[in-house]
């Protein structure tokens, strides 16, 4: 193998870390023949230069390139913020790289800086109507207040104002006088001096009320009526006559009966008859 040309050596497809490479050290000043392992050769590479054609396919390991190995700058071929992409997971930034995102943030910062938040906000009464009032704001949105209702607090509306005024003007500490008003056969009106009158109606089977003219006539007719014995009145077993007066006056006779002796005179009314019978 002595004095064999480099080009005549057997080629291999891939080198391993412990393979040895032939190297000429300092070729432009004092050329010296040296050897280096493939592993140390790889570790000593700090600038791969520019690949004019083809593709660098070997790649670099994780964290293999430091910031000192990158040509930072804004010139042609240099790396700047415009070359660094971003992934905006929240969908807040429109730009897709750092430069545009920074400009967006700067615009937002400038807008907030220009806004004077320590100014005085003046409120004033705006246009209103019977149910609403507008509170005008000097540096923002106006607010419209609405009328209160059964469920919600709010303004005192014009209608309710009128009701309050009417109730305030009403003198409730006055004397209320009642008097008999117009009436007819079934009703009577109780007139009220400072309020609504009340109409009383006639009583019926289910409700108390006035004694109507018709029922009045019926009562009078019943009071004046005479009754004929055993016609519209009938004497039953519960009828007991009083003691007889004089013999010349017709009287109702009490009759008692039994199977024994007549009762004592002092236990029956005068003029009573006793009937004795046998079974």
**What would the pLDDT profile of 68-100 be if each residue is shown by its tens digit?**
878 899 988 899 999 889 887 777 888 889 999
Kindly state the DSSP code that residue 40 receives in the 8-state scheme. H
Name the 3-class secondary structure at 197.
Answer: coil
Token pair belonging to 197: 């009158």
Residue position matching structure tokens 């400072």: 194
**Has residue 98 been placed in a domain?**
no
Segment 184-208 mean pLDDT: 93
3-state helix, strand, coil in the chain (%, to 5): 20, 20, 55
* Residue 213 included in any domain: yes
Structure tokens at 33: 């023949």
Q: Side-chain half-sphere of 132: how many Cα atoms within 13 Å? A: 10
The answer to whether 18 and 37 are in contact (CB under 8 A) is: yes
Q: Does 194 map to a domain?
A: yes
Average pLDDT over all residues of the chain:
83
8 A C-beta contact, residue 193 and residue 176: yes
Does 77 fall in a domain? no
Of the pLDDT bands very low, low, confident and very high (cuts 50, 70, 90), residue 228 is low
Same domain? 220 vs 250: no
* Residue with tokens 């054609």, as numbered in its chain: 53
Q: Which of 95-104, 135-144, 203-212, 265-274 has the lowest mean pLDDT?
A: 265-274
Q: Which domain holds residue 218?
A: 178-224
């Amino acid at each position: 193998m002595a004095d064999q040309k480099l080009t005549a050596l057997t080629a291999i497809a891939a080198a391993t870390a412990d393979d040895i490479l032939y190297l000429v050290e300092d070729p432009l000043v004092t050329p010296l023949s040296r050897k280096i392992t493939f592993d140390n050769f790889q570790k000593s590479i700090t600038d791969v230069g520019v690949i004019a054609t083809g593709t660098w396919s070997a790649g670099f390991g994780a964290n293999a390139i430091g910031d000192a190995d990158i040509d930072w700058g804004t010139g042609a071929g240099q790396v700047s913020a415009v070359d660094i992409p971003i992934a905006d997971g929240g969908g807040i930034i429109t730009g897709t790289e750092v430069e545009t995102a920074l400009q967006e943030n700067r615009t937002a910062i400038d807008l907030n800086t220009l806004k004077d938040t320590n100014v005085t906000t003046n409120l004033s009464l705006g246009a209103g109507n019977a149910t609403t009032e507008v509170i005008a704001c000097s540096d923002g949105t106006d607010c419209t207040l609405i009328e209160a209702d059964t469920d919600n607090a709010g303004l005192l509306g014009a209608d309710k104002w009128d009701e309050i005024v009417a109730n305030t003007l009403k003198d409730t500490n006055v004397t209320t006088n009642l008097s008999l008003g117009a009436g007819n056969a079934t009703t009577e009106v109780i007139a009220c001096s400072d309020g609504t009158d009340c109409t009383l109606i006639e009583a019926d089977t289910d409700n108390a009320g006035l004694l109507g003219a018709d029922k009045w006539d019926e009562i009078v007719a019943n009071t004046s009526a005479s009754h004929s014995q055993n016609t519209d009145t009938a004497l039953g077993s519960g009828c007991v006559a009083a003691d007889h007066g004089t013999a010349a006056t017709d009287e109702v006779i009490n009759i008692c009966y039994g199977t024994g002796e007549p009762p004592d005179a002092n236990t029956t009314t005068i003029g009573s008859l006793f009937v004795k019978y046998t079974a």
